[in-house]
């Protein structure tokens, strides 16, 4: 994505009605991202998607789902299912990027849910 495309995308996102709590969480995420970059530097790692790691991830997810049967869907299950989607199949860079954005959005919603529970039940 070019800088011009990124700015155009940011303008479109800004035009959307965004919950203040989502903006607050996004700010925390950006702050943490900067902190990690200062600590670890710029990371350039392999994606680690597809086999053989996928088998290990899938087995762990299956065990968790088996243990949670009867409890109902949890954020942890949803998170791990989304992570499994990312790591269980090789993807081109664009598809992988889209899946990671989806995962980040789900994580943001989880944080917002935690924050909301703390407001309702301190």
Task: Determine the structural domain holding residue 29 and report its residue range.
Answer: 1-44
**Could you say which DSSP state residue 18 is in?**
-
Number of domains in the chain: 2
pLDDT single digits (tens) 35-56: 888 988 887 777 777 766 667 7
Smallest CA-to-CA distance from 16 within 3, 1, 26 is with 26
Tell me: do 63 and 86 sit in the same domain.
yes
* d(C-alpha 21, C-alpha 33), whole Å: 18
Tell me: do 77 and 110 sit in the same domain.
yes
The pLDDT of residue 111 is 92
Q: How confident is the model at residue 8 (pLDDT cuts 50, 70, 90)?
A: low
Tell me: do 40 and 57 sit in the same domain.
no
Tell me: do 57 and 85 sit in the same domain.
yes
Question: Global pTM?
Answer: 0.63
Instruction: Compute how many other C-beta atoms are within 10 angstroms of the C-beta atom of residue 87.
Output: 21
* d(C-alpha 82, C-alpha 59), whole Å: 14
Backbone angles phi, psi at 106, to 5 degrees: -65, -40
């Amino acid at each position: 994505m070019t800088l011009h495309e990124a700015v155009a995308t940011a303008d479109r996102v800004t035009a959307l009605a965004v919950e203040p709590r989502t903006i607050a969480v996004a700010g925390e995420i950006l702050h943490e991202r900067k902190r990690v970059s200062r600590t670890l530097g710029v990371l350039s790692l392999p994606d680690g998607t597809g086999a053989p790691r996928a088998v290990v991830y899938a087995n762990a997810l299956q065990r968790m789902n088996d243990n949670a049967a009867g409890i109902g869907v949890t954020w942890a299950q949803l998170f791990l299912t989304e992570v499994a989607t990312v790591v269980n199949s090789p993807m081109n860079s664009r598809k992988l990027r889209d899946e990671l954005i989806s995962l980040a959005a789900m994580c943001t919603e989880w944080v917002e849910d935690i924050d909301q529970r703390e407001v309702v039940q301190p």
